[in-house]
Structure 1
Amino acid sequence: MKFQNAKLKFLEIDLKGCVYLNHFSRSERITTFFKIVSRLGDGIFWYLMVLSVWIVQGLIYSLQIIYLVLGSTVGTLIYKVLKTKTVRPRPYQVHQVIRLGEHPLDHFSFPSGHTLHAVMATVVLGYVVPALLFLMLPFTILVALSRMVLGLHYPSDVVVGALLGGVLAIAIVCMAPFLNIVL
């Protein structure tokens, strides 16, 4: 009974956070801004960061980029499996007060793949070229916020996506020496 009450309380707090952040989408300017952030977070921004690593570090870092792509593939596999196992509907699908600001790339909410990939890329690329963190950290935060402001994810989806991305990034950085990759 205690577990059920704690779960209900958690879901209530999660929804309140989602509703609060989604309220900002009532402004067309804010919605447009976060749509742009979300679309850049689909890959364009990260491709520019990879290009920046190559420019700053040279083509010697091509192996790290390949490893980042492999990590991204593993991240995609993890979040897709979780989405199909948890089948958590997106907030706008369940709660009429949530305004959809952008069309989703897939059907389910948990976890946030955008946030997972943003955190993973920020940690790995930031480890290689720390100077890029001044661009990547704020952008990663904006990507995470965009998912909730646009009504696509609950805060817990974003937090779990960030944790998964962080774990994957740490694994990439820690495993690199054993795979003969210099980070």
Structure 2
Amino acid sequence: MQAWLRHLNDLEVSVCRVWSRSGGRHPWLQQPFAIVSRLGDGVFWYSLMAALPPVYGLSGLQASLHMLLTGALALLLYKLLKGATRRPRPCDHAHDITALVPPLDQYSFPSGHSLHAVAFSTVAIDYFPELGWLLVPFTTLIALSRIVLGLHYPSDVLMGILIGLALGYSSILFV
């Protein structure tokens, strides 16, 4: 691992400890974040893509296909970045941080859940602004869940958000 990344891990690990301890000591906090995180694995997004065409017709189909294409690009970029940085998760960097749910893959940077949630929400809200009241809070909870559950550093989530915004808005400009 690169020295700058090791230094960043050491800076952020204290934040991760606070969140991990808060979630771990309070099941009433842990459980909702675990559910939100699980929905962010794809269940919610694929359900939304399936629901848009029956509700919105042809524009719903277009939005769903746009989200699917953006999601594919997000997945490719996310896999490339994870493979290039190989940043260990907070729960692997510091043994007093517990992953409260099993991670989907080995590395931490960037947060794929945050990246996909922001990219999908950006595209969906561009087509249907009335969905913002649901998608913005849900996306925010997904991003927070990744830190609370001990799976990501704050910078992983922040970069996931920024990359998701860039992908979402870029895809809107080019589609």
Map of 2:155 onto structure 1? 156
Write the mapping of 1:102-181 to structure 2, written as runs, cut at 5 A: 102-176=101-175
2:85 and 2:109 in contact (8 A); partners too? yes
The one-letter code matched in structure 1 to 2:31 is T
Q: CA deviation at 1:12?
A: 4.1
Aligned partners of 1:72, 1:136: CA distance in 2, in Å?
Answer: 16
Q: Is 1:22 the counterpart of 2:20 in the alignment?
A: yes
The one-letter code matched in structure 1 to 2:142 is V
Q: CA deviation at 1:9?
A: 6.8
The one-letter code matched in structure 1 to 2:145 is S
Map of 1:181 onto structure 2? none
Q: CA deviation at 1:59?
A: 2.9
1:83 and 1:108 in contact (8 A); partners too? yes
Aligned partners of 2:11, 2:54: CA distance in 1, in Å?
Answer: 44
Task: Tell me which structure has the larger Cα radius of gyration.
Answer: 1
Q: CA deviation at 1:133?
A: 0.8
The one-letter code matched in structure 1 to 2:49 is V
Aligned partners of 1:39, 1:7: CA distance in 2, in Å?
Answer: 28
> Percent of aligned pairs with the same residue?
40
Map of 1:3 onto structure 2? none
Map of 1:90 onto structure 2? 89
Q: CA RMSD in A?
A: 2.1
1:119 and 1:165 in contact (8 A); partners too? yes
The one-letter code matched in structure 1 to 2:38 is R
What's the TM-score, normalizing by structure 2? 0.90
2:66 and 2:123 in contact (8 A); partners too? no
Q: How many matched pairs?
A: 173
Aligned partners of 1:20, 1:121: CA distance in 2, in Å?
Answer: 29
1:87 and 1:108 in contact (8 A); partners too? yes
Say which is worse superposed, 97-106 or 48-57, in terms of deviation.
Answer: 48-57
Aligned partners of 2:60, 2:39: CA distance in 1, in Å?
Answer: 23
Aligned partners of 1:46, 1:8: CA distance in 2, in Å?
Answer: 33
